[in-house]
Amino acid sequence: MGISWILIIAGLVYLVQHTIFNRWGFRGLTIKRSFNTAHCHAGDRIEMIETIQNRKLAPVPWLRLESTIHAGLHFAKQSNLAVSSGAMFQNHRSLFSLMPYTRIVRRHQVYCAQRGWYKLETVSASIGDLVGMHAATKSQRTDLELLVYPRLVSRDDIPLLSSRWQGDVTVKRWIMPDPFLVSGVREYRYGDTMNSIHWKATARSQRLQVYNREFTADPRLLIIVNTQITATMWDAVSDPELVEKGLSYAATLAEYAISQGIPVGFGYNGSLAQQPGVTVHVPPAGGHPHLEYLFETMAKLTVSYTRSCSDFLDECTLQEGSALDIILLTAFVSDAIEDSIQRLEAQGHTVFIVPLQHGLLTLHEKEASPSDVNTASGASSAS
């Protein structure tokens, strides 16, 4: 047999096997991706699990999976895994080889560096033939989601700025663990803590009873994050890191307050990813399911500016009827914000400030005498 016939036969064999892998290479091949948790906090480490199964007699010489993932998820270096990063997104590529009727499970370590709502909707799969040449490519839907809640910080790291709107009594009322007075009992309501149950009254009435507390002992809390960094800021947020810090503070304060049995609400003058242009207002409620809802809402927020802080506070004035303790997390305080706070206080609400940057002073404090400014600065440093 001549060399030409050998080349012709080799070429035909190559074409046949290449055609087989091109047409039927993905038959019996299943690709699944999942996270070991549906949600976590920024700074946590989780796993992304890839399961690839070849349920046919023919092998898969090589299989390459490629997907685009947000850069807020950092993948640990592993063999047969390549990650190339860009400014916002990164390309995730992994390589496999499967024998007949084989299943491979690979676990990728993922560091959740940034809060967000991450969607891995599709993965591109490419297979090769017996000689290593590319045979076919297919896009497969995964519909994989991960909610990364804001990073929780120590409550000691959250500064509380004294101002003319809040006094020591208000701050101590909220921050002290249990400075309250008890006045009788009432029936159990959803969200009440176990340590508030009055067991003797429960035994007498045969219905779950808890200690009834005065207004100072049963506050409702509304936490507001202001995405407006300066009074002149328009449209785009000029310092997203300050907004992220505010959301971390808000998540930490909400978790602590709800653990103490305090109903908590949330306000945000930016918007949700699925509702652009609409500000966020969650009424106060208690219980772990509500805390999870708050965390989920915070994870889905975009760093955006939809409405001025003063207008948003005025909107809260109309929406909230009964008295609230309002925590405003903000990078600045303007005359318009001061006026809105005064209107809130005139309706019985209590407002105090958590600064998102050092040296935060109100405009009135900046215009005050040097001694007053020094006193205000000392109070901020002490907090």
Average pLDDT over residues 326-335: 91
295, burial (CB in 10 Å: exposed 0-12, middle 13-18, buried 19+): buried
Give the per-residue pLDDT at 212: 63
| pLDDT tens figures, 69-100 | 888 898 877 555 555 555 567 777 888 889 99
Give the per-residue pLDDT at 81: 55
70, burial (CB in 10 Å: exposed 0-12, middle 13-18, buried 19+): middle
Q: Which of 117-131, 183-197, 347-361 has the lowest mean pLDDT?
A: 183-197
- Compute the chain's Rg from CA coordinates: 29
Which residue matches tokens 């918007």?
271
Average pLDDT over residues 167-192: 52
β-strands 73-75, 271-272 pairing:
unpaired
Average pLDDT over residues 202-213: 78
Which residue matches tokens 């992994």?
94
Give the per-residue pLDDT at 184: 62
pLDDT band at 347 (very low <50, low <70, confident <90, very high): confident
Give the per-residue pLDDT at 89: 72
Please name the fold of domain 155-180+218-382. Answer: Rossmann fold (3.40.50)
**363 vs 199, higher pLDDT:** 199
Give the per-residue pLDDT at 151: 95
Q: Which of 42-46, 197-201, 278-282, 311-315 has the lowest mean pLDDT?
A: 197-201
The proportion of the chain whose per-residue pLDDT surpasses 70, expressed as a percent, equals: 79
Which amino acid does the sequence have at 46? I
Distance between CA atoms of 106 and 374, rounded to whole angstroms?
59
Which residue matches tokens 């909220």?
174
Structure-block tokens of residue 31: 């690709």
pLDDT at 299 > cutoff 80: yes
**325 vs 366, higher pLDDT:** 325
Q: Which CATH superfamily is domain 3-149 in?
A: Immunoglobulins (2.60.40.10)
Residue 325 near residue 221, CB atoms below 8 Å: yes
| pLDDT tens figures, 22-58 | 888 889 999 999 999 999 999 999 999 999 999 999 8
pLDDT at 244 > cutoff 50: yes
The per-residue pLDDT of the chain, averaged, comes to 80
Considering only CA atoms, which of 40, 63, 31 is closest in space to residue 110? 40
| pLDDT tens figures, 105-159 | 989 899 999 999 999 888 899 998 888 888 889 888 888 899 999 999 988 888 8
Distance between CA atoms of 356 and 24, rounded to whole angstroms?
58
Distance between CA atoms of 219 and 225, rounded to whole angstroms?
19
Longest dimension (CA), the chain: 106
Give the per-residue pLDDT at 19: 87
Which amino acid does the sequence have at 203? A
pLDDT at 290 > cutoff 80: yes
Give the per-residue pLDDT at 281: 93
pLDDT band at 6 (very low <50, low <70, confident <90, very high): confident
**124 vs 163, higher pLDDT:** 124
Distance between CA atoms of 165 and 258, rounded to whole angstroms?
24
Considering only CA atoms, which of 186, 202, 164 is closest in space to residue 350? 164
Considering only CA atoms, which of 274, 253, 10, 28 is closest in space to residue 127? 28
Q: Which of 6-20, 286-300, 327-341 has the lowest mean pLDDT?
A: 6-20
The CA-atom distances, in angstroms, between 311 and each of 269, 280, 338, 369, 370 are 9, 13, 12, 30, 31
Average pLDDT over residues 364-377: 38
Q: What angle do CA 165, 166, 167 make, to 5 degrees?
A: 130
80, burial (CB in 10 Å: exposed 0-12, middle 13-18, buried 19+): exposed
Q: Domain residue spans in the chain?
A: 3-149, 155-180+218-382, 181-217
